[in-house]
């Protein structure tokens, strides 16, 4: 059992918290309030950033002390919203939210994952008719191994998990969010994930 703090109590955060609790972890969910986030992060071994990506950097930088030595799993995408609240552009073109979090929190081990799919797939990857991919980006191999194990708790088979390399590779997966509005306009809100055909 791992002690996990999920920052963000929307659809993504709630979905992850429910699934991780079901998998036997001790999970605390905190809303966007700074005090709630700090209390949750302080006692957790792993912190999951499921806050809206546009404000994540500001919210997490103030938790520097609470996040020291922790694994920060970043599942957010920092985007400018377009029509219907769908992502229209990247806030950090040429970089990524995950890279900026790692730069701002050098004593925290940031791992980017689960940001290339609609939220139901994060905790039920087998719902899709084809095998999806969960990508890992991060500079710390041990942190990525820990996150890999968490993903298997959520139903991800080991062959569906692809380690892309260092945190800089997160800019590739974060850019994939730009597929989302076009896929939704084409086929509706049916669950999908970006995957690599092999």
Q: Dump the DSSP string for 90-111.
A: ESSTTS-HHHHHHHH-TTSEEE
pTM equals: 0.96
Give me the count of residues in the chain: 198
How far is 122 from 89, CA to CA, in rounded Å? 22
**Mean pLDDT score, 57-73:** 97
Supply φ then ψ for residue 106, to 5 degrees: -65, -20
- pLDDT tens per residue across span 102-153: 999 999 999 999 999 999 999 999 999 999 999 999 999 999 999 999 999 9
- pLDDT higher than threshold 80 for residue 86: yes
Residue 156 confidence (pLDDT) above 80: yes
Paired strand residues for 30: 7
Q: Which of helix, strand or coil describes residue 21?
A: helix
pLDDT tens-digit map of 95-110: 999 999 999 999 999 9
Is 31 in contact with 20 (CB distance < 8 Å)? Answer: no
For 2-31, the pLDDT digits (tens) are: 999 999 999 999 999 999 999 999 999 998
Instruction: Provide the pLDDT for residue 147.
Output: 98
pLDDT at 33 over 80: no
Q: What is the mean pLDDT of residues 53-59?
A: 95
Per-residue confidence (pLDDT) for residue 162, from 0 to 100: 97
> What pLDDT is attached to residue 70?
97
Helix-strand-coil percent breakdown of the chain, rounded to 5?
A: 45, 20, 35
Q: Which helix (H) or strand (E) holds 81?
A: strand 79-81
């Amino acid at each position: 059992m791992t002690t996990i703090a999920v920052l963000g109590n929307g659809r993504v955060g709630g979905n992850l918290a429910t699934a991780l609790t079901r998998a036997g972890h001790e999970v605390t969910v905190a809303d966007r309030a700074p005090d709630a986030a700090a209390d949750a992060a302080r006692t957790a071994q792993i912190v999951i950033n499921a806050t809206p990506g546009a404000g994540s950097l500001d919210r997490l930088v103030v938790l520097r002390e609470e996040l020291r030595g922790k694994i920060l799993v970043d599942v957010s995408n920092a985007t400018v919203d377009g029509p219907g609240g769908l992502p229209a552009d990247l806030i950090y073109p040429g970089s990524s939210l995950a890279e900026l979090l790692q730069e701002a929190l050098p004593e925290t081990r940031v791992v980017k994952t689960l940001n290339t799919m609609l939220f139901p797939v994060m905790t039920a990857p087998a719902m899709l008719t084809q095998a999806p991919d969960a990508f890992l980006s991060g500079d710390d191999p041990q942190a990525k191994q820990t996150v890999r194990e968490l993903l298997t708790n959520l139903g991800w088979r080991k062959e569906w998990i692809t380690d892309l390399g260092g945190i800089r590779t997160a800019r590739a997966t974060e850019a994939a969010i730009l597929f989302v509005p076009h896929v939704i306009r084409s086929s509706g809100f049916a669950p999908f994930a970006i995957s690599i055909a092999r």
